[in-house]
C-alpha cells in the first residue's frame, strides 16, 4: 500500500507574518520514503486556523494522491463536511480521467463537526477579467440574492508570479490596492510554495491551490468567491475549475462559490468597462517576460483587447499601444476551446454592428488548424496528461541518478 501522509507543523511567526506548514511524507510499497514541506504565509494580524486544522493541506494534495494511487493519512483534524465533499470530488475526477485519477481512501485523526462560516466573503483577485468582474458585480449588488459582502480580496504569490520575483509581486499588489481602494476593499497577500511541491498539472489543480491558500483566511470571511473561467454553455471538462466541482472543495467553515458562469468573457468585459479604476490596472497576461504587466501581443492579450472593441468600448490603458490588426497577424489559436472564445467575439461584434478591419480578419484567424502537437495531444486530454506524467518521471529518475 502506498501512502501520502500529511503532518501539520507548528505555526511560525516573525514580526510581519504567520506561516502555516505541513510535512508531506510519501511512502512506497518497498518502504522508500520522500519528504517535503508545504507552506502558506500571510499577515500575522490574521487569526490563523488551528495548527492541527488540515483542511487546506488535504485540498492542496488530494489530486496528487489520486494520481499516484496513494492512501491519504492525515495526522490532524479535517472538517467532516469537507471529507464528504471530497468523496464526490474524487468521483468527478475519476470519471473524467479514469486512467489517471483513482479514488483513494482518506484517513484522518478526527473529523470536525458543528462548524459555521464567518460572515462575508473573500474573493480571489489577481487583477484579471474574472476576478474584476466578481468584485464589481458584488460590490455594486448586480447579482440579486446571490450578492456577497466582500470583506477582503486575496492575491497569491507563487502562482502566476514565481516566488523569486518579489519586485513584480510588489508592483502587482500596489496596482491591485489602487483598484480595490475604489470600492473600499482591503487586499490580503498570501505566499506559498504550492507549485513547487505539488506534482499534478496546473490546469487541473489550480483551484485546489487557490482554495487551500484562501482557506487560511476563513476567520476573516467564511465564503470563498472563485471567478468562473468559462460560461455554462461552454464548460470544459476535465478542467481545474467548474461550477459543480469547485463548491466540493468547501468545508463546514469555508464554503466555495463559483461565480459568474452565466457570462461569456466578452459579456464580463462589457460589465467591467463601467469601472474605470477596475480596468485601469487589468492584468490578464501570463506569457509575457514581465509578470506585472500585459505584453499586449500574446493571444490572451489580443483576445482581451478585442473583447472590449466587440462591445463598443476602447482598449483600456493597461495594454501597450499597438495596431490591433498587426497584433492579429501573430495570433495562433492552439485549440478548439480558444477558438470558441474568438468565435464569440466575432458574433458579438456583428451583433453590435461593429465595422472595423479587425472584424474582417477574424474569419481567417478562425479558419486556422491547431498545430500538429495540439491535435495529437489536445489540452486536458488523457493522452497529454499521460505524456506529461511520463516526462516528470523520467526527469525525476535522471535527477536521482545524477545526485540532484
Give residue 241's pLDDT.
96
Give the mean pLDDT of 32-39.
95
Average pLDDT, the chain: 93
Residue 141 burial class via C-beta count within 10 angstroms: exposed 0-12, middle 13-18, buried 19 and up: exposed
Give residue 214's pLDDT.
98
**Cα separation, 285 vs 202, whole angstroms:** 16
Give residue 373's pLDDT.
58
| Class for the domain spanning 121-259 | alpha beta
Q: What are phi and psi of 203, to 5 degrees?
A: -65, -20
Hunting for cell 492541527 — which residue is that? 52
Percent of the chain past pLDDT 90, that is, above it, reads 84
Give residue 327's pLDDT.
95
Give residue 288's pLDDT.
83
Give residue 286's pLDDT.
83
What are the sequence ranges of the domains in the chain?
Answer: 3-112, 121-259, 284-370, 377-404
Hunting for cell 471538462 — which residue is that? 237
Give residue 399's pLDDT.
55
pLDDT in tens, 159-175: 999 999 999 999 999 99
Q: Could you list the beta-strand ranges (E) of 228-386.
A: 255-259
Hunting for cell 520522500 — which residue is that? 34
pLDDT value at 362 more than 70: yes
pLDDT tier at 192 (50, 70, 90 boundaries)? very high
Residue 33 burial class via C-beta count within 10 angstroms: exposed 0-12, middle 13-18, buried 19 and up: exposed
Q: Which helix (H) or strand (E) holds 35?
A: strand 33-43
pLDDT in tens, 256-295: 999 999 999 999 999 999 999 999 999 999 888 888 999 9
pLDDT in tens, 37-65: 999 999 999 999 999 999 999 999 999 99
Considering only CA atoms, give the Rg of the chain. Answer: 22
pLDDT value at 191 more than 90: yes
pLDDT value at 319 more than 90: yes
56, β-bridge pairs: none
Give the mean pLDDT of 17-36.
94
Higher-pLDDT residue of 374 and 208 is: 208
Q: Strand 17-27 and strand 3-8: pairing?
A: antiparallel
pLDDT in tens, 382-402: 566 666 666 665 665 565 455
Check residue 248 and report its DSSP letter: G
Give residue 117's pLDDT.
98
Q: Which helix (H) or strand (E) holds 151?
A: strand 150-157
Amino acid at each position: 500500500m502506498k501512502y501520502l501522509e500529511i503532518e501539520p507543523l507548528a505555526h511560525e511567526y516573525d514580526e510581519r507574518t504567520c506561516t502555516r506548514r505541513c510535512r508531506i511524507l510519501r511512502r512506497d510499497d518497498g518502504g522508500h520514503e520522500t519528504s517535503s514541506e508545504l507552506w502558506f504565509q500571510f499577515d500575522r494580524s490574521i487569526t490563523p486556523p488551528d495548527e492541527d486544522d488540515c483542511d487546506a493541506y488535504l485540498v492542496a494534495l488530494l489530486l496528487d494522491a489520486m494520481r499516484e494511487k496513494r492512501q491519504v493519512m492525515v495526522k490532524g483534524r479535517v472538517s467532516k463536511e469537507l471529507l464528504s465533499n471530497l468523496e464526490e470530488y474524487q468521483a468527478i475526477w475519476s470519471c473524467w480521467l479514469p486512467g489517471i485519477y483513482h479514488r483513494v481512501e482518506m484517513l484522518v485523526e478526527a473529523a470536525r463537526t458543528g462548524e459555521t462560516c464567518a460572515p462575508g466573503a473573500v474573493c480571489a483577485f489577481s487583477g484579471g477579467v474574472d476576478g474584476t468582474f466578481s468584485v464589481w458585480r458584488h460590490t455594486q449588488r448586480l447579482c440579486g440574492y446571490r450578492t456577497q459582502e466582500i470583506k477582503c480580496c486575496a492575491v497569491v504569490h507563487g502562482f502566476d508570479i514565481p516566488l523569486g520575483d518579489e519586485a513584480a509581486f510588489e508592483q502587482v499588489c500596489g496596482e491591485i490596492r489602487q483598484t480595490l481602494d475604489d470600492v473600499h476593499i482591503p487586499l490580503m497577500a498570501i505566499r506559498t510554495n504550492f507549485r513547487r511541491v505539488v506534482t499534478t498539472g496546473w490546469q487541473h489543480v489550480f483551484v485546489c491551490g487557490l482554495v487551500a491558500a484562501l482557506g487560511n483566511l476563513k476567520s476573516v470571511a467564511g465564503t470563498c468567491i472563485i471567478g468562473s473561467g468559462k460560461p455554462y454553455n461552454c464548460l470544459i471538462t476535465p478542467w481545474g475549475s467548474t461550477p459543480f466541482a469547485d463548491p466540493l472543495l468547501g468545508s463546514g467553515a469555508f464554503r466555495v462559490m463559483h461565480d459568474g458562469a452565466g457570462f461569456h468573457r466578452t459579456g464580463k468585459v462589457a460589465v467591467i468597462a463601467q469601472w474605470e479604476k477596475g480596468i485601469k490596472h487589468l492584468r490578464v497576461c501570463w506569457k509575457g517576460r514581465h509578470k506585472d504587466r500585459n505584453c499586449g501581443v500574446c493571444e490572451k492579450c489580443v483576445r482581451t483587447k478585442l473583447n472590449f472593441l466587440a462591445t463598443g468600448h476602447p482598449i483600456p490603458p493597461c495594454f501597450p499601444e499597438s495596431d490591433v490588426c498587426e497584433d492579429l497577424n501573430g495570433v495562433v489559436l492552439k485549440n478548439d476551446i480558444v477558438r470558441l472564445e474568438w468565435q464569440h467575439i466575432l458574433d458579438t461584434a456583428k451583433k453590435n454592428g461593429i465595422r472595423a478591419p479587425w472584424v474582417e480578419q477574424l474569419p481567417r484567424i478562425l479558419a486556422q488548424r491547431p498545430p500538429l502537437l495540439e491535435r495529437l495531444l489536445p489540452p486536458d486530454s488523457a493522452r497529454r496528461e499521460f505524456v506529461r506524467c511520463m516526462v516528470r518521471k523520467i526527469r525525476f529518475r535522471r535527477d536521482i541518478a545524477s545526485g540532484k
